[in-house]
Amino acid sequence: MSKQAEFAVILKMNPMFADLGADELQRISGLCHTQHLSSGEVLFQKGDPGNALFGVRRGQIRIETGATDGSRLTLNFMGPGDLFGEVAVLDGQERTADATAGEATELFVLRREDFLSFLEREPKVAIRIIQLLCQRIRWQSERMEESVLQPLPVRLARRLCALAEDFGSEVHISQEQLGVFVGAARESVNRQLQAWRKDKILDLQRGRILLHDLTRLNTIARND
């Protein structure tokens, strides 16, 4: 499979591009470049102009932010097949977090200028993008009310399920960071995890969580 075709597949998996036609995806993919990073190399920093969209071909990118106390908090891990910077490529605003390679990494790069001039030539695609952005706005405002008002166990279960989708049943994350993710104190996270361990839903190790029963976790996340 050509690089372009590979990138098209990644785009297709992202909700933002999922509904575009095969021909449009192909033409967009034709605009992409690739970029190599060695482990620890910085892709961009907070404040940099958002002048591209990235897709991970292989390796890992860590999205992190410097906290006020100097410590670094990892906000997200992007693995092969993941896409990030979809909004930045469209509006060019500053990056809101840092991105560094966690290991040797190869990226697909879609530059903002290339994508915008493509949209200008293809107004139908632009309108399609507008509709997708609108969906996202709606989706966000629904989630806004919904998610944050949920009790901690639900938020925690949702986050764990999401992480499990990316990394399988062995999630590599400290309870501290998990607390930041779900907006809760580390201790509260720990107590909930303990409870779930007693219920055989998961197991705990230092810096790592082993999900045994994703089915039950999903039930909790749904909060029927």
Partner DNA sequence: GTCATTATGTGACTTATGACACACTTCCGA
Partner DNA sequence: TCGGAAGTGTGTCATAAGTCACATAATGAC
Tokens 């575009």 — which residue? 20
What would the two tokens of residue 60 be? Answer: 């890992």
- Which of the listed partners (DNA, its own copies, none) does 121 bind, with a CB threshold of 5 to 8 Å by partner kind? its own copies
Q: Which is nearer to DNA, 123 or 151 (CB)?
A: 151
Q: Which is nearer to DNA, 91 or 206 (CB)?
A: 206
Q: How far apart are CA 92 and CA 70, in angstroms?
A: 27
Residue 207 touching DNA (CB under 7 A): yes
Q: Which is nearer to its own copies, 133 or 154 (CB)?
A: 133
Write each residue from 83 to 122 as x if it is in contact with its own copies (CB under 8 A), else as -, in one continuous string. Answer: ----x--xxxx--x-------------------x--xxxx
- Which of the listed partners (DNA, its own copies, none) does 162 bind, with a CB threshold of 5 to 8 Å by partner kind? none
What would the two tokens of residue 104 be? Answer: 């040797």
Write each residue from 119 to 148 as x if it is in contact with its own copies (CB under 8 A), else as -, in one continuous string. Answer: xxxxxx-xx-xxx-xxxxxx-xx-xxx--x
Residue 88 near residue 50 (C-beta atoms within 8 A): yes
Buried b (16+ CB within 10 A) or exposed e, 109-121: bbebebbeebbee
Residue 75 near residue 61 (C-beta atoms within 8 A): no
Write each residue from 152 to 171 as x if it is in contact with DNA (CB under 7 A), else as -, in one continuous string. Answer: xx------------------
Element (H, E) at 73: strand 72-78
Radius of gyration of the chain (CA): 19
Binding-site member from 4, 51, 175, 218 for DNA (CB under 7 A) = 175
Residue 188 touching DNA (CB under 7 A): yes
Residue 22 touching its own copies (CB under 8 A): no
